[in-house]
């Protein structure tokens, strides 16, 4: 499935609208036990499938995992596995550190336990993944023998290759590590032989090994002592025996480090010989990790298996937004989505904050989850395969490239209109807001009509232009929906429930009151709103009055009545349709007394 940058941003797949990582689809679903699994989940979310067979294979595997009573046991071995993908990359680049190899050894040692945990699952997908995970017992044993359990961080410091792994290295280490014991024995022996009680044997990096005697006793040094350094209060000497040991000890240390580096490089060579098989193993482990994580989410969040079909359409029962429901302190209000093959465009009206954007996004996210092979937050879902998801949501500018908010809006809309197909899911929210009312309404009207009749994509079209709800009358492929709300004592109560038909108002002033707009400003806005509504009804009333007078002057002239001008005919048809539409879209059981009185005044104004 193709997802453009605007869609990834608006759906907040792995980055929220503020640019952070919290409250995204990825953060909600990321129950992965390994870094590899987390990255794999992110890839799945950004690249949903369109192959029905592959999707169902994942769903079958997920169902097998969810139905297993001890599902959490699957994660126990996974948590012991390191980031094999990153480690293998470093090994291939020969930049792996000793502790990378230790982590790899522990991971390989866990593979038999991992395989045993998943073997019993009745899923062809799981068995295929297990076949890509050989035990690697020999490699695990090699690394266990070769590397110290807690090695130094870098090879140049030594202390990486284990004792007993290489005999030459052990011999060289012995020479270097036994130097202290040899020097102590030499010091005691020379004191006894020479009778010089101030004699001591030492070492520094500049002059190497030496025998030090105080100034007072330096004259009594044996003839085989060769002066090496004169100090203020002492003389330092070297003997043939000490020189011979120095050569062996110092060379042994450097030779041991060189040998250790050589053995380490040989280990990397051996691991690189198995690089492809190890990479396949890491990829298979990552997929098992993702399936397990999705299984945990399904159990924890009450997700259910969707049904994927080739037939176009989206039918969701009691769908929920997977992210928002996790951050709400109150129960999430579920809604059904029904985009049929013969009614693909839904015009959605309702108040601001009523839930239009949430409803649209949750439909897209449920579709996306279904096509990655995941269970979905709904009682049931039947999804016709979608090839692309497009979104035109929110307002933002791009001043750096010289694009205004409206230009960005039109650019995104143009991308949708040029690239959407009859298998695409399109979300359009409040298109046409960035220009004049008539321009915006005209563009929104044309866009909705094109999506419904020409492109025939699966479309959710949210708008505050109530004029667009008339499209349902002329286009069978368009259906009106609205988000319900109630007004109580001047305040608005959002019900967040999708219903058929168009909304009768936007509750803009009530939402402004909730936002904290001062009461005196709201009062002025109410006066202006009443004035604008009266002005919009006045031309209709005057036209109606003139037509009634004409008819009254010729009450029996049925021929004249039958031969009304086209303008008169259109007027009566439009008047009748408006009254009928108001009554048809009004639920008398849900409106308040004040709303009912307002409706009567409005109907009277349209008829007089």
Contact 50, 385 (CB under 8 A): yes
pLDDT value of position 548: 40
Residue 527 lies in a domain: no
pLDDT value of position 565: 41
Instruction: Please choose, from the candidates 361, 314, 316, the residue with its C-alpha nearest in 3D space to the C-alpha of residue 462.
Output: 361
Instruction: Please choose, from the candidates 320, 425, 422, the residue with its C-alpha nearest in 3D space to the C-alpha of residue 378.
Output: 320
The verdict on 285 and 316 lying in the same domain is no
Q: Return the biggest CA–CA distance within the chain.
A: 154
Instruction: Please choose, from the candidates 581, 572, 587, 573, the residue with its C-alpha nearest in 3D space to the C-alpha of residue 603.
Output: 581
The verdict on 462 and 381 lying in the same domain is yes
What is the DSSP code (8-state) at residue 432? Answer: T
The verdict on 458 and 424 lying in the same domain is yes
The verdict on 277 and 137 lying in the same domain is yes
Could you tell me how many residues make up the chain?
A: 608
What average pLDDT does the segment 443-447 reach? 92
Rounded CA gap, 99 and 413, in Å?
A: 52
Where a domain ends, among 235, 256, 277?
256
Strands in 234-238's sheet, in edge-to-edge order, are 200-204, 208-214, 234-238, 226-230
Contact 402, 378 (CB under 8 A): no
Residue 328: how many CB atoms within 10 A of its CB? 11
Rounded CA gap, 528 and 357, in Å?
A: 28
Q: How confident is the model at residue 69 (pLDDT cuts 50, 70, 90)?
A: low
Contact 10, 394 (CB under 8 A): yes
pLDDT value of position 567: 40
The verdict on 366 and 390 lying in the same domain is yes
The residue whose two tokens read 């397990």 is: 292
Rounded CA gap, 299 and 121, in Å?
A: 17
Residue 591 lies in a domain: yes
pLDDT value of position 63: 95
Burial string for 423-452 (b: 16+ CB within 10 Å, else e) reads bbbbbbbbbbbbbeeeebbebbbebbbbbb
Residue 349 lies in a domain: yes
Rounded CA gap, 136 and 110, in Å?
A: 10
Residue 4 lies in a domain: no
Q: How confident is the model at residue 555 (pLDDT cuts 50, 70, 90)?
A: very low
Residue 7 lies in a domain: no
Residue 340: CATH number of its domain: 3.40.50.300
Would you call 326 helix, strand, or coil by DSSP? Answer: helix
Per-residue pLDDT tens over the stretch 42-67: 999 999 999 999 999 999 999 999 99
Rounded CA gap, 38 and 32, in Å?
A: 6
pLDDT value of position 248: 80
The verdict on 152 and 26 lying in the same domain is yes
Q: Which domain holds residue 294?
A: 15-161+265-301
Does residue 572 surpass a pLDDT of 50?
Answer: no
Q: Which residue has the higher pLDDT, 533 or 215?
A: 215
Residue 51 lies in a domain: yes
Burial string for 514-526 (b: 16+ CB within 10 Å, else e) reads eeeeeeeeeeeee
Instruction: Please choose, from the candidates 291, 285, 289, the residue with its C-alpha nearest in 3D space to the C-alpha of residue 135.
Output: 285
Residue 115: CATH number of its domain: 1.10.1420.10
H, E, C per residue of 32-61 = CCCHHHHHHHHHHHHCCCCCHHHHHHHHHH
Residue 534 lies in a domain: no
Number of domains in the chain: 4
Q: What is the mean pLDDT of the chain?
A: 86
Where a domain ends, among 196, 223, 256?
256
pLDDT value of position 530: 79
pLDDT value of position 147: 96
The verdict on 208 and 250 lying in the same domain is yes
The verdict on 329 and 436 lying in the same domain is yes
The verdict on 270 and 248 lying in the same domain is no
The verdict on 173 and 156 lying in the same domain is no
Distances (CA, A) of 251 to 165, 234, 244, 247: 21, 28, 11, 6
Q: How confident is the model at residue 286 (pLDDT cuts 50, 70, 90)?
A: very high
pLDDT value of position 568: 41
Per-residue pLDDT tens over the stretch 323-354: 999 999 889 999 999 998 788 999 999 887 77
Contact 311, 445 (CB under 8 A): no
H helices present in 238-274, as ranges: 240-273
The verdict on 474 and 392 lying in the same domain is yes
Residue 530 lies in a domain: no
The verdict on 600 and 492 lying in the same domain is no
């Amino acid at each position: 499935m193709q997802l453009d940058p605007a869609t990834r941003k608006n759906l907040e797949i792995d980055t929220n609208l503020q640019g952070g990582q919290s409250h995204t689809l990825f953060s909600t679903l990321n129950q992965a036990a390994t870094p590899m699994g987390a990255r794999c989940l992110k890839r799945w979310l950004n690249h949903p499938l369109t192959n029905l067979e592959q999707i169902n294979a994942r769903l079958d595997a997920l169902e097998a995992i969810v139905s297993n009573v001890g599902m959490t046991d699957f994660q126990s071995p996974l948590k012991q596995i390191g980031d094999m993908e990153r480690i293998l990359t470093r090994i291939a680049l020969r930049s792996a550190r000793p502790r990378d190899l230790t982590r790899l050894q522990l991971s390989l040692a866990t593979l038999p336990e991992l395989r045993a945990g998943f073997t019993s699952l009745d899923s062809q997908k799981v068995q295929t993944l297990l076949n890509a995970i050989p035990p690697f017992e020999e490699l695990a044993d090699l690394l266990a023998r070769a590397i110290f359990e807690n090695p130094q961080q870098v090879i140049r410091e030594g202390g990486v290759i284990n004792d007993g792994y290489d005999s030459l290295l052990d011999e060289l280490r012995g020479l270097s590590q036994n130097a202290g014991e040899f020097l102590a024995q030499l010091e005691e022996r020379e004191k006894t032989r020479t009778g010089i009680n101030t004699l001591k044997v030492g070492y520094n990096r500049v002059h190497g090994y030496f025998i030090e005697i105080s100034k007072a006793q330096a004259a009594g040094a044996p003839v085989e002592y060769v002066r090496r350094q004169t100090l203020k209060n002492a003389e330092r000497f070297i003997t043939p025996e000490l020189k011979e040991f120095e050569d062996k000890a110092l060379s042994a240390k450097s030779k041991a480090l060189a040998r250790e580096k050589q053995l380490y490089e040989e280990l990397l060579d051996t691991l690189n010989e198995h690089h492809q098989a190890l990479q396949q193993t890491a990829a298979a482990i990552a997929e098992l990790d993702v399936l397990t994580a999705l299984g945990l989410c399904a159990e924890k969040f009450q997700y259910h298996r969707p049904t994927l079909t080739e037939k176009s359409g989206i039918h969701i029962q009691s769908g929920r937004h997977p992210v928002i429901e996790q951050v709400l302190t109150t129960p999430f209000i579920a809604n059904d989505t029904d985009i049929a093959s013969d009614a693909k465009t839904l015009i959605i009206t309702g108040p601001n904050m009523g839930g239009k954007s949430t409803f649209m996004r949750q439909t897209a996210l449920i579709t996306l989850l279904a096509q990655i092979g995941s269970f979905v937050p709904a009682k049931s879902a039947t999804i016709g395969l979608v090839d692309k998801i497009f979104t035109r949501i929110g307002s933002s500018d791009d001043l750096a490239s010289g694009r205004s908010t409206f230009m960005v809006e039109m650019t995104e809309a143009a991308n949708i209109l040029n690239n959407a197909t009859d298998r695409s899911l399109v979300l359009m929210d409040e298109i046409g807001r960035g220009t004049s009312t008539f321009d915006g309404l005209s563009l929104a009207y044309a866009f909705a009509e094109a999506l419904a009749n020409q492109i025939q994509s699966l479309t959710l079209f949210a708008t505050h232009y109530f004029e667009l709800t008339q499209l349902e009358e002329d286009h069978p492929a368009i259906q009106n929906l609205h988000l319900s709300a109630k007004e109580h004592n001047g305040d608005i109560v959002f019900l967040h429930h999708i219903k058929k038909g168009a909304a009768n108002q936007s509750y803009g002033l009530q939402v402004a009151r909730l936002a904290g707009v001062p009461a005196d400003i709201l009062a002025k806005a109410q006066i202006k709103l009443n004035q604008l509504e009266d002005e919009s009804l006045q031309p209709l009333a005057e036209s109606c009055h003139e037509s009634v007078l004409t008819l009254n002057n010729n009450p029996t002239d049925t021929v004249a009545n039958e031969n009304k001008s086209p303008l008169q005919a259109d007027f009566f048809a439009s008047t009748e349709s408006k009254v009928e539409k108001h009554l048809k879209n009004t639920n008398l059981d849900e409106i308040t007394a004040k709303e009912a009185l307002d409706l009567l005044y409005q109907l009277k104004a349209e008829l007089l």
